[in-house]
Amino acid sequence: MVETKMDFYHSKVRLFFGNIFTIFLVVSSVLGVIFFPEESLFFTALLLFIIVLFSFFTVANILKMIRGYPYITITDEYIQLDPFTKSEITIYFKDIDHLKIPPKGPVEIILYQEDDFFAALSFHNKARLIMNRFTGYSPFTLNVKFVRKQERDALLKTLELIARRK
């Protein structure tokens, strides 16, 4: 039996503009620390936090642009998020309870044993996905807007087909 495999890649345009935004935040925060060093301790700590946080985002986006790895891989058995990276997560269809596919916003993958699955993730993935829980989303979300424009319809059709099977 031949396994069907579909890869969906990051939108390079979105990554490019995301990098411009994060680089602007980092540079303006560095300038704020340099030119206003005697401001309040809170202001300086906030700027340093922004520098560190958005530096990580910038490096991650640059790596996504350079490497060219898929954002999502879907086969007959599983959905893989960020394959070939340290952030790789493989979700088998048998573990999926249902998919929430709203007209706008991220697609949520709801698992039967979501807490157990989340607990088994690496520390890196837990740290990366914990904010989804705090904002009320499933930890396992896909943002269709991050996929290349010409691939979005195919991704949505594939996800709807998986949702109907569930």
Cβ proximity of 48 and 33 under 8 Å = yes
The pLDDT tens digits of the residues spanning 57-101 come to 899 899 999 998 999 999 999 999 999 988 899 999 999 999 999
What does the pLDDT read at residue 2? Answer: 59
Q: What is the largest CA-CA distance in the chain?
A: 68
Element (H, E) at 5: strand 5-9
* Distance separating alpha carbons of residues 94 and 166, to the nearest angstrom: 9
10 Å Cβ neighbour count for 106?
Answer: 18
Taking the C-alpha atoms of residue 14 and residue 25, their distance in angstroms, rounded to an integer, is 17
Question: What gap in Å lies between CA 100 and CA 110, rounded to an integer?
Answer: 8
Q: Minimal CA–CA distance to 54: which of 89, 88, 20, 84?
A: 20
Q: What is the pTM of this model?
A: 0.81
Please say whether the beta carbons of 128 and 89 come within 8 A: no
